[in-house]
Amino acid sequence: MPVSKANINWSNVQFGSTPITRVTAAMFGLGGTLIKFKGDTDLYPSIIANVNNEPHASITTADVGTMMNFAPGTGGTLTAQLNDAKALTGGAVVFTVTNNAVFENADANAQHAQFGTCAGTFQFYASDGLTNPLVLSRA
């Protein structure tokens, strides 16, 4: 059966040695930005270049205590799997940042009579300044 080409729900979310469960939302971004050149008689950009990429992630969980327990500036490996909608092998997208994920911040929020949630943010860096630290694979 072919993979569904759609994804639902997160599993295997972990930072360092700490599993992050009760995940309600997660976001991974490449953080790419472009600069444009326009000169002389140009009416449109004649050059567009990508010279800055700041990959990042945000994970929201109901497990407020675990997320708030990470200290900003802590580095480690961050992994998360976005599952295939039909739970088929090869359809899931696995996000992996080996060693180069840095925990940035956590914001907890809880409304009356609702489960509280905590959103943690992560920034990624490249040791050589050139290799994308955010690796995508299929599972």
Residues at the site binding other proteins, with contacts judged by CB under 8 A: 8-11, 21-24, 61-62, 83, 87, 113, 115
Are the C-beta atoms of 14 and 79 separated by less than 8 Å? yes
Query: C-beta of 83: minimal distance to other proteins in Å?
Result: 5
- Going from the C-alpha of 11 to that of each of 22, 23, 29, 117, 121, the distances in angstroms are 9, 8, 18, 17, 17
Query: C-beta of 110: minimal distance to other proteins in Å?
Result: 11
Query: C-beta of 8: minimal distance to other proteins in Å?
Result: 7
| Nearest to other proteins of 82, 97 (CB atom) | 82
| Nearest to other proteins of 80, 101 (CB atom) | 80
Helices (H), the chain: 64-68
CB neighbours of 68 closer than 8 A, spacing ≥ 6? 106, 108, 118
| Nearest to other proteins of 7, 77 (CB atom) | 7
